[in-house]
Amino acid sequence: MIAPATRARARATFGRLLRPPAVLLVVAAAAGGLVGCTTGGSGDRLTIYSGRTENLIDPLLSDFADETGIGIDVRYGDSADLALLIDEEGDRSPADVFLSQSPGAIGFLAEQNRLAPIDEAFLDRVEPRFRGDDGRWVGVSGRVRTLVYNTEMVDEADLPASVFDLTEPRFEGQVAVAPTNGSFQDFVTAMRELAGDDATRDWLDGMVANDVRGYANNLAIVEAVGRGEIAMGLVNHYYNEQAQTEDPDIPTANHFFPAEDLGSLILVTAVGVLDTAGDQRDGAERFLEFLLSRAAQRFYVEETSEYPLAAEVPAPPGLPSLDEIQAPDLDLSSLGGELTATKELIEESGIEQS
């Protein structure tokens, strides 16, 4: 189970999500790259490339190492960048496991045949819509795309009925996005998949024409909305949930778009075993089993307000269930093959990070 001290550390550090740590201890990996040395362990070691930040995932890695004796070396970074790095490293990659913030990045590696098949015993713990249709990755936690807004600046009755409404003149200069964030990139890829490239390009151009504000990440958007710097922004739901926990007086709320609107896309944190795992395959599968365990799933609920995807753990209190959200029908596996093209489309739109 997740140790109390681990939970306390997670609560204390979650507010620094997506902010790079001041100091990162590094060691040389087998292929000559650099990875953060996360745990000691007394036996075998796993090398994990993680698109989830150290502040969030380190408590789980530490508990896994304590329970199994398997040490962990981890390289942190942007999910898309790490996926491209793994593909570039090829058979020389030291990575055994890829933990991705987004289904798009891990789907890209599946498309490149860089992931090994996952045993059905693990796949069957998660609904088919939250795992790769080729059986090479599985979701371990879920996030819903929402519109966070300042309750002192925006009347609930004036909120948009669809994410596509945000290009209307009434929202000029009021909306923030995180153009380099993996979740926003997955959202744009989903728009391309469901509405087409032309409609997606029109939406991006419309947002730029409407003076959209670019921020580094979801956390920066929630903080900006909370202090009244911007009225609203597209984020993952759990950032505002955590902000509300840390400061109940912050004037922010999540707007869940109506049923089947693209604005309520459900995304997952996903994990896959690299085809380069070799002798570490057993340890990689033990790590996968740990992330799908009841203890780890409860950790996501209690510490980060993310949706659990396994072990029949209920959703965080106060949030609609995943079934109630009625997200648009989308095969998350389809997001992987378009990662590079989506990044180029966003860049071409001219959305700039402030």
Whether residue 153 is predicted with pLDDT greater than 60 in this model: the reply is yes
What are the tokens at 173?
């200069």
Residues 337 and 212 in one domain: yes
Give dist(CA 181, CA 229) in Å, integer. 20
Residue 258 lies in a domain: yes
Residues 243 and 272 in one domain: no
Quote the longest CA-to-CA distance of the chain.
60
Residue 15 lies in a domain: yes
What are the tokens at 135?
């059986």
pLDDT of residue 12: 39
Residues 229 and 118 in one domain: no
For residue 310, give Cα distances in angstroms to 63, 165, 272, 339: 19, 34, 16, 27
Average pLDDT over residues 38-65: 85
Residue 296 contacts residue 308 (beta carbons within 8 Å):
no
Least trusted range by pLDDT, from 4-8, 160-164, 175-179: 4-8
Average pLDDT over residues 224-235: 98
Give dist(CA 161, CA 154) in Å, integer. 14
Residues 22 and 44 in one domain: yes
Range of the domain at 32: 4-142+266-319
Residue 109 lies in a domain: yes
pLDDT of residue 301: 95
Residues 231 and 297 in one domain: no
Residue 260 contacts residue 328 (beta carbons within 8 Å):
yes
Average pLDDT over residues 194-217: 96
CATH code for the domain of 40: 3.40.190.10
Q: Determine if residue 196 is left, alpha or beta; phi over 0 gives left, psi from -120 to 50 gives alpha, anything else beta.
A: left
Residue 354 lies in a domain: no
- Percent of all residues in the chain with a pLDDT value above 70, rounded to a whole number: 88
pLDDT in tens, 301-339: 999 999 999 989 999 999 999 988 888 988 888 787 787
Residue 174 lies in a domain: yes
Residues 172 and 285 in one domain: no
Give dist(CA 338, CA 111) in Å, integer. 10
Domains held by the chain: number: 2
pLDDT in tens, 11-46: 333 333 333 332 222 222 333 344 555 555 555 899
Residues 250 and 288 in one domain: no
DSSP alpha helix (H) spans, the chain: 4-13, 54-68, 79-89, 103-111, 120-123, 182-195, 197-209, 218-226, 237-246, 281-291, 294-299, 322-325, 339-349
Residues 210 and 337 in one domain: yes
Residue 210 contacts residue 166 (beta carbons within 8 Å):
yes
Average pLDDT over residues 189-193: 94
pLDDT in tens, 241-255: 999 999 999 999 999
Residues 216 and 196 in one domain: yes
Give dist(CA 38, CA 36) in Å, integer. 6
pLDDT of residue 337: 73
Residues 124 and 272 in one domain: yes
Residues 205 and 332 in one domain: yes
pLDDT, mean over the chain:
88
Residues 191 and 291 in one domain: no
Give dist(CA 13, CA 53) in Å, integer. 11
Reference 302, options 56, 51, 88; nearest CA is 56
pLDDT of residue 38: 54
Q: How many CB atoms lie within 10 A of CB 197?
A: 14
What are the tokens at 314?
């209920």
